[in-house]
C-alpha cells in the first residue's frame, strides 16, 4: 500500500496530532501550576504548546485559503464565528464564578473596561497580574490569533498568490522589526509587534512548502522532531530562558515541518483517538482549567497534596480531568456551534472548507 499526500479538502492527520499534543502540553502545564504544586514540578516547557498552536494556525490559514476562497469579509466572518462564541462562553463562566466564589479562582480582579476589552480581543494589562492578559487569562493567545486573522484577511484582497504571500510575510516581519527597534510600552503596540508573530509566518511558509515536505524521506521528519525534543530539553535547563521565539518557536517550527514530512505515512493508519483530541483541541484549551480546578478541590478533599507522591498523583489525574473536560465541551458546546456556523455560511460557500479547520 503506497502512501499518499493529502489534498486540500482532506484532514491533515499529523497536523491534527500536533494540535492534540499542543493542547495536552498546555493541560500538563496547568496541572502543575497550582500554588501548592508548582514548586515541586517547575516544568516550563508547557508553554511550548501555545507556540505550536501558532505555527499550526499559520499553516491552516494558508492551506484553507490557497484555492478558491470567498474573500476577506467572508474569511473574517468565518474566523469570528469559529473562535469567539466558545471563548465568550468560558470568559462569561469565569467572570460568573469569580464573582460568586472568589476563592475558586486565582488572581481574580475586575475592571469594567478590562472586561470589555477582553470580549473584544483588545490587549490590555491585567488589573492584578501586571501582565498583558484578558480577564480569562488564557485568552491572551486569542488576542494574537485574532490579530493574525485581521492581517491575513487584508492580504486576501491581493488576488495573486505570490504577492499575497510576500505581503503576509512582509507585514508580520515589519511589525516585529518595529517592535524590536522601538520597543513600544503600550499593551496593544507591545502585543502586535511581538516576535511571536513570526510563528504564524513560519506556518504559512511551511504550508507553501508542504508538497515538497510530503516527498521528503521520513528519516528527515523523525530527525526534525528529535531535534525539537532535544531543543526543548536543553531549554528547560537554561536559566533564564532565551527569547520565546528561540526557546519555543524554533522547536515548534521544526516539529510541524517534521510532522508534514511524515504525513503520507501517518495517513495509512490514523489514530481515531488522536484525531478526536485534535478536533477537540480548542475546547481542551479553553475548558481544561475549569475541569482541573474542580478536580483540585475534589482531590484535596479526598486525598490531599501534602506529599510528593500525592502531588504526582494529582498531576496525572488532573491531566485526565482537563482533557476529559475539553472533550465534553467539544461534544456538547463547540461542535453544535460549528455546525450552526456552517449551516449559516452554507449558502455562500463557493468551495468546501478543508477538514483541518475543525
Domain count, the chain: 1
Structural domain containing residue 327 = 13-348
Q: What is the 3-state secondary structure (H, E, C) of the chain?
A: CCCCCCCCCCCCHHHHHHHHHHHHHHHHHHHCCCHHHHCCCCCCHHHHHHHHHHHHHHHHHHHHHCCCCCCHHHHHHHHHHHHHHHHHHHHHHHHHHHHHCHHHCCCCCCCHHHHHHHHCCCCCECCCCCCECCCCHHHHHHHHHHHHHHHHHHHCCCCCHHHHHHHHHHHHHHHHHHHHHHCCCCHHHHHCCCCCHHHHHHHHHHHHCHHHHHCCCHHHHHHHHHHHHHHHHHHHCCCCCCCHHHHHHHHHHHHHHHHHHHHHHHCCCCCHHHHHHHHCHHHHHHHHHHHHHHHHHHHHHHCCCCCHHHHHHHHHHHHHHHHHHHHHHHHHHHHHHHHHHHHHHHHHCCCCCCCCCC
Average the pLDDT over 86-102 and give the result: 90
Question: What is the pLDDT of the chain when averaged over all its residues?
Answer: 88
| Confidence category of residue 207, pLDDT binned at 50, 70, 90 | very high
Q: Looking at the domain assignment, is residue 50 inside a domain?
A: yes
The predicted-structure confidence for 18-44, as pLDDT tens digits, reads as follows 999 999 999 998 888 776 666 666 666
Band of the pLDDT at 107, cuts 50, 70, 90?
A: low
Is residue 2 pLDDT above 50, yes or no? no
Cell 479547520 belongs to residue: 357
pLDDT at 9 over 60: no
Read off the pLDDT of each residue in 209-215 and give the average, rounded to a whole number: 95
- Within a domain: 353: no
Q: CA 63 to CA 56: how far, in whole Å?
A: 10
pLDDT, residue 353, reads 41
Q: Is the pLDDT of residue 6 over 70?
A: no
The set of cell numbers assigned to 173 is 516581519
For residue 76, tell me if it sits in a domain: yes
Q: Is residue 153 part of a domain?
A: yes
The pLDDT of residue 130 is 82
Average pLDDT over residues 288-307: 89
* pTM of the predicted model as reported, rounded to 2 decimal places: 0.90
Confidence of residue 136 (pLDDT cuts 50, 70, 90): very high
> For residue 178, is it within any domain?
yes
pLDDT-derived band of residue 300, with 50, 70 and 90 as boundaries? confident
Higher pLDDT, 311 or 45: 311
> Residue 106: pLDDT band by 50, 70, 90 thresholds?
low
Give me the pLDDT at residue 98, please. Answer: 84
Instruction: Examine residue 107 and state whether it is found in any structural domain, yes or no.
Output: yes
Greater pLDDT, 307 or 188 = 188
Segment 309-357, tens digit of pLDDT: 888 898 899 999 999 999 999 999 999 998 887 777 665 544 444 444 4
Domain assignment present for 354: no
Is the residue at 357 inside a domain?
Answer: no
pLDDT at 7 over 60: no
Number of Cβ atoms within 10 Å of the Cβ of 107: 12
Owner of C-alpha cell 471563548:
87
Query: What percent of the chain stands above pLDDT 70?
Result: 88
Question: Would you state the cell numbers that stand for residue 49, as one nine-digit string?
Answer: 504548546
Confidence of residue 10 (pLDDT cuts 50, 70, 90): confident
Mean pLDDT of 220-243: 91
Amino acid at each position: 500500500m503506497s502512501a499518499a499526500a493529502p489534498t486540500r479538502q482532506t484532514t491533515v492527520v499529523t497536523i491534527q496530532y500536533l494540535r492534540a499534543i499542543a493542547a495536552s502540553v498546555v493541560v500538563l502545564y496547568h496541572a502543575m501550576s497550582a500554588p501548592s504544586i508548582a514548586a515541586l514540578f517547575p516544568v516550563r516547557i508547557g508553554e511550548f504548546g501555545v507556540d505550536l498552536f501558532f505555527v499550526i494556525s499559520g499553516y491552516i490559514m494558508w492551506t484553507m485559503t490557497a484555492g478558491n476562497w470567498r474573500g476577506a469579509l467572508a474569511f473574517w466572518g468565518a474566523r469570528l464565528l469559529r473562535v469567539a462564541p466558545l471563548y465568550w462562553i468560558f470568559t462569561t463562566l469565569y467572570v460568573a464564578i469569580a464573582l460568586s466564589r472568589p476563592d475558586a479562582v486565582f488572581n481574580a480582579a475586575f475592571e469594567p473596561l478590562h472586561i470589555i476589552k477582553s470580549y473584544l480581543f483588545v490587549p490590555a494589562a491585567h488589573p492584578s497580574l501586571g501582565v498583558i492578559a484578558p480577564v480569562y487569562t488564557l485568552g491572551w493567545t486569542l488576542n494574537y490569533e485574532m490579530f493574525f486573522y485581521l492581517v491575513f484577511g487584508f492580504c486576501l484582497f491581493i488576488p495573486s498568490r505570490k504577492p499575497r504571500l510576500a505581503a503576509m510575510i512582509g507585514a508580520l516581519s515589519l511589525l516585529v522589526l518595529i517592535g524590536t527597534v522601538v520597543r513600544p510600552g503600550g499593551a496593544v503596540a507591545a502585543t502586535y509587534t511581538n516576535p511571536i508573530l513570526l510563528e504564524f509566518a513560519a506556518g504559512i511558509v511551511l504550508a507553501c512548502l508542504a508538497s515538497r515536505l510530503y516527498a521528503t524521506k521520513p528519516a528527515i521528519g523523525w530527525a526534525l522532531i528529535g531535534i525539537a525534543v532535544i531543543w526543548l530539553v536543553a531549554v528547560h535547563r537554561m536559566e533564564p530562558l532565551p527569547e520565546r521565539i528561540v526557546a519555543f518557536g524554533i522547536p515548534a517550527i521544526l516539529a510541524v515541518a517534521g510532522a508534514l514530512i511524515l504525513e503520507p505515512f501517518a495517513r495509512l493508519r490514523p489514530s481515531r483517538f488522536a484525531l478526536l483530541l485534535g478536533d477537540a483541541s480548542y475546547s481542551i484549551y479553553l475548558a481544561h482549567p475549569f475541569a482541573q480546578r474542580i478536580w483540585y478541590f475534589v482531590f484535596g478533599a479526598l486525598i490531599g497534596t501534602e506529599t510528593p507522591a500525592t502531588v504526582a498523583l494529582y498531576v496525572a489525574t488532573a491531566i485526565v480531568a482537563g482533557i476529559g473536560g475539553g472533550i465534553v465541551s467539544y461534544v456538547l458546546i463547540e461542535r453544535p456551534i460549528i455546525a450552526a456556523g456552517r449551516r449559516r455560511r452554507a449558502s455562500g460557500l463557493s468551495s468546501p472548507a478543508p477538514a483541518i479547520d475543525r
